Amino acid sequence: EKLQHIQVLDLSFNILEGEIPSGGKFANFSARSFLWNYALCGAAKFHVP
């Protein structure tokens, strides 16, 4: 709900870990938003384990 107006998300190079949500606004983001965060996992479209 709080992300309803966000159109661009760049979390690359942040040493993040955990599962990337695939619903809501996250359904519109690409793998580019999460580059170089090797500990992330999630949907195949994000190109993470």
Taking CA atoms, 30 is separated from 5, 11, 35, in Å, by: 17, 11, 10
Domain range spanning residue 41? Answer: 1-49
Query: Could you read off the pLDDT tens digit of each residue along the chain, which spans 49 residues?
Result: 676 788 888 999 999 999 999 988 888 899 999 999 999 999 999 999 8
- List own/partner pairs for 38-43 with CB under 8 A and 24 or more apart: 39/15, 40/16
pTM (predicted TM-score): 0.78
